[in-house]
Structure 1
Amino acid sequence: MHITVSELFLIALVIIFSVPYLIWRVGRTEYYAPLVVVQIITGILLGPGVLGSIFPEYYHFIFTQPVTQALNGIAWWAVILFVWIAGIELDLKHAWTHRRESGITAGFALATPLLLCSLVAVGMLRYDGWVGTNGTDWQFVFGVGMACAVTALPILILFMEKLDILRRPLGQRILRYGSLDDIAIWAVLALILMDWERVGKQGAFLLAFALFSYGFRKLIIRLPESDRWYVGLIALAACAFGADWAGLHFMVGAFLAGVIVDGEWFNQKQMDSLRQHVLLVIMPVFFLSTGLKTQWSVGGEAVFMAAAALLCAAVAGKLLGVHIAGKILQWKPGEASIIGWLLQTKALIMIIFANILLDKDIITTDTFTALLLMAVGSTMLTIPMVVPKLAHMRDGSSHHTRNRLAAKPVPD
């Protein structure tokens, strides 16, 4: 029986959407593994390292080169949109207003896990199979360290919506910290990807982008909101192309295209809806595309050991850094733990970051797999650790309020 490429493509889509949904719904994993995390795990399971190893004939029958190429095209556009939205959601004005608190917290929350995970990466340098053919030692160490230190702002927003703290003062503080970390992440990525042989191209792109940003911001505020969405997408594609042409990678351009856009130019409900629909409709294809890049060529045990070491360093570093910031800023008891665990959410942004390092051959597929496992583990820990701490803090606050009311003198 002859099966066309389009039929194989549709079979792949059925698998991509049905398998994670069934695992999530039947397994009732929402508490510790939301659907987006299940989709990432399923992508790993459907990749060559698991499905391709257990059932190679079925794997190669479905995921042929034409099907994989088609899925990659959708995945590229999905992640470009997602990174653009992440750039738009950065509230730099709010962060600047609270710059001392935000700077101290974001600085320690990023620097401490970066340092600890970089030390793990230095240890990985002693063994073959981790560094890509185009990667230098400093790029590998800095790249792995930063990948472990990131916070996934879009997933953080989803988690805080779930916990009903997004629009509360604590949630807005955490958003500021995550926003500043996001800026640092993309700045470091641009430094890692700096190609001194093409530095002229990259300088030309940055100059052109600065001029384009000025004109774009002047233009878009004069347009009706319905037109702003369309013009924003044109700017997105143009910036992504320019960054890729300069050797910085198209996702760097996508993030820059979002940063120059003020979130207040768009309806917040529509922006939330767009993010949710991108996650629902096309990001699952990106997760599968990510899973197709997972490998275990250095050995499954070595990959899991590296992932475990990176996970311990990332979690410990983030919590330590936030607790140091809490001591300096004299936070209330319990706040540092809640903030530290929420900033552990890595999933999407870390995967995007690691994908770029893999595309540029700075890391190998084995390092990518270890980082992916680390990100999944870190993200899955977030909700189970935060829920009881948040409940305890709320109970303590209610108890304090009741005692304060009871202590008030009764008027005659």
Structure 2
Amino acid sequence: MQDHTSLAVRDSNLELALDVLPALAVILLAAAVIGRLAVMLGQPRVLGEIIAGILLGPTLFGWLAPELQADVFPAQARSVLYVLSTIGLTLYMFLVGAGLDHSRQESERKHHPAVLAASGFLPSLVLGGLVGLLMWDDVSRDDVNRWEFALFVGGALSLTALPMLARMLYERGLQNSRLGRLSLVAASIDDAAAWCFLATLTAVHTGSGAVGALPMIGYSILFTVVMLLGVPRLLRPLARHVGRQGTLSPGAMYVVVIIPIVCGYLTDLIGIYSVFGGFIAGLAMPRDPRFRQALHSRMMDTVSTLLLPIFFALSGLTTDLRSLSADTLLFGVAALLAGFAGKYFGSTLAMKTLRFSWREAFAVGGLMNARGMMIIVFINIGLAQGLITKPVFSVLVMVAVITSAAVLPLYRRALPKHLELNLGSEVPPPAPAPRPLTTTDTH
């Protein structure tokens, strides 16, 4: 009897593997091909990978060949892919947190990055919130109150994708220019603020109101304080060792990978989603540039090439643009305009008040609209926590695609190549500079 049970379990596992592996192969192939096409068209690779995920979903693949799509992505395979995507997303947010340079300061005025960050974050939050307030009756879930929905929409539209912005500036040699340093620090402030905002909002929502959420918020604050004040001290010997070796040894890799996985588990227990645990774990990493370089060089390519496309594909399987209602489409257009205008004009006016030229100001306004995968992560959490419906999720995915696609054209229009070269030479780069984020830092 035991032999028969073992044989049945083995056959079940083999069947599951035969379901998952073809789905994974299709996902990676689509991400590679469409990501490459995006690069050929002058767009970030991540934009192509997001579009690949949408095309694999019901919008195209499910519409053209619904039976074949169901065979490629059966329900049991999606469960395994979901686990893989969650691990990948947690590790990616860990790398994003580890990549934030807290020591970077704008040379002339230390408050300038905060001014730029607030000027992009707050207008998008307010305008997006107004869209949510006005259209709550038409597109929101019944169990989400008007203010929760409005704040979620505003928070999603207030994001700037720091990794995508960093990659664009490094590719152009502008990371050490006055414009580049200011934009990077402002984007890091925006991202940190948005994740804290979302963590609080989900805690309030899942805690059945502000009072019910107090324990969850308290545990979240305690977890963050312990991680940011205690863990860096414990990791200093590891950072010194990695700095001497110039790479992460297998033993160091075990430590580095276990930390975000455990932190993701703990934040899931708290109730604020594993992504936040990964992000906080990244912030707790040693700030030694050699450690950060070794960390990214060992982990980023694997995480972004193998695991992140799974996340995009699953997001695409949730995105269905075929039968959106008129109200949902109107909401999508309003959210697109609110998010774009808040970031573009808010950041542009802030840059002008900081005495940059109009061209530089408009260039940064375009760059700060880079949302990349960050808004996709944000709205996936909102969908998982029951803050938005699938149709709202679908149109916000398209907002992410459209605003991200507009970044480089807007930037190039504001700063043609000859002006960009002069801008890049205004501040000599320090030596040696840390290696820029790799490959999918365009995420």
Query: Structure 2 vs 1, CA of residues 297 and 396 (structure 1 numbering), >3 Å: closer, same or farther?
Result: closer
Query: Structure 2 vs 1, CA of residues 88 and 134 (structure 1 numbering), >3 Å: closer, same or farther?
Result: farther
SS in structure 2 opposite 1:193? helix
Q: Does 1:260 align with 2:284?
A: yes
TM value normalised by structure 2: 0.82
How many equivalent pairs are there?
Answer: 396
Q: Does 1:328 align with 2:338?
A: no
The unaligned stretches of length 5 or more in structure 1 are 402-412
Aligned to 2:82: 72
Q: What is the identity, as a one-letter code, of the residue corresponding to 2:237?
A: R
Cα distance between partner residues in 1 of 2:289 and 2:190: 23
**Worse overlay, 36-45 or 260-269:** 260-269
Cα distance between partner residues in 1 of 2:128 and 2:233: 42
Aligned to 1:199: 214
SS in structure 2 opposite 1:263? coil
SS in structure 2 opposite 1:182? helix
**Worse overlay, 372-381 or 118-127:** 118-127
Q: What is the identity, as a one-letter code, of the residue corresponding to 1:59?
A: Q
Alignment equivalent of 1:171, drawn from 174, 180, 201: 180
Q: Does 1:277 align with 2:277?
A: no
Q: Does 1:308 align with 2:333?
A: yes
Alignment equivalent of 1:350, drawn from 360, 372, 375: 375
SS in structure 2 opposite 1:282? helix
Q: What is the identity, as a one-letter code, of the residue corresponding to 1:88?
A: A
1:32–1:380 contact (8 Å) kept in structure 2 = no
Aligned to 1:154: 163
- Deviations along 1:123-163, one digit per CA (max 9) or x if unpaired, are 32131xx3235422111111111111100111222222333
After TM superposition, list the pairs within 5 Å mapping 1:242-257 onto structure 2: 242-257=266-281
Query: How many Å apart are 1:57 and its aligned residue?
Result: 0.9
Cα distance between partner residues in 2 of 1:6 and 1:167: 47
Query: How many Å apart are 1:254 and its aligned residue?
Result: 1.4
**Worse overlay, 2-11 or 46-55:** 2-11
Query: How many Å apart are 1:61 and its aligned residue?
Result: 1.4
1:136–1:362 contact (8 Å) kept in structure 2 = no
Aligned to 2:124: 113
Query: How many Å apart are 1:301 and its aligned residue?
Result: 5.1
Alignment equivalent of 2:225, drawn from 210, 233, 256: 210
Q: What is the identity, as a one-letter code, of the residue corresponding to 1:14?
A: A
Query: Structure 2 vs 1, CA of residues 163 and 307 (structure 1 numbering), >3 Å: closer, same or farther?
Result: farther
- Deviations along 1:176-200, one digit per CA (max 9) or x if unpaired, are 0101101110111122112243532
Aligned to 1:14: 25
Q: After TM superposition, where is structure 1 displaced by more than 6 Å over at least 4 residues in a row?
A: none
Query: How many Å apart are 1:107 and its aligned residue?
Result: 0.4
- Deviations along 1:226-280, one digit per CA (max 9) or x if unpaired, are 3554323222122211211111111112111111223326434434433343222
Query: How many Å apart are 1:383 and its aligned residue?
Result: 1.2
Query: Structure 2 vs 1, CA of residues 52 and 176 (structure 1 numbering), >3 Å: closer, same or farther?
Result: same
Q: What is the identity, as a one-letter code, of the residue corresponding to 2:100?
A: L
- Deviations along 1:38-72, one digit per CA (max 9) or x if unpaired, are 11011112113432233221121121111101111
Note the aligned Cα RMSD (angstroms). Answer: 2.7
Cα distance between partner residues in 2 of 1:96 and 1:387: 23
Alignment equivalent of 2:63, drawn from 45, 53, 64: 53
Cα distance between partner residues in 2 of 1:306 and 1:50: 22
The unaligned stretches of length 5 or more in structure 2 are 1-11, 243-247, 427-443
Cα distance between partner residues in 2 of 1:44 and 1:89: 28
Query: How many Å apart are 1:16 and its aligned residue?
Result: 0.9
Cα distance between partner residues in 1 of 2:270 and 2:16: 34
SS in structure 2 opposite 1:172? helix
Q: What is the identity, as a one-letter code, of the residue corresponding to 1:40?
A: I
2:129–2:151 contact (8 Å) kept in structure 1 = yes
Identity of aligned residues (%): 26
SS in structure 2 opposite 1:151? coil
Q: What is the identity, as a one-letter code, of the residue corresponding to 2:170?
A: E
**Worse overlay, 360-369 or 198-207:** 198-207
Q: What is the identity, as a one-letter code, of the residue corresponding to 2:126?
A: L
Query: Structure 2 vs 1, CA of residues 296 and 381 (structure 1 numbering), >3 Å: closer, same or farther?
Result: closer
Q: What is the identity, as a one-letter code, of the residue corresponding to 2:171?
A: K
2:34–2:51 contact (8 Å) kept in structure 1 = no
1:198–1:247 contact (8 Å) kept in structure 2 = no
Query: Structure 2 vs 1, CA of residues 30 and 264 (structure 1 numbering), >3 Å: closer, same or farther?
Result: farther
- Deviations along 1:67-110, one digit per CA (max 9) or x if unpaired, are 10111111001110111111112222325985310111100111
1:45–1:51 contact (8 Å) kept in structure 2 = yes
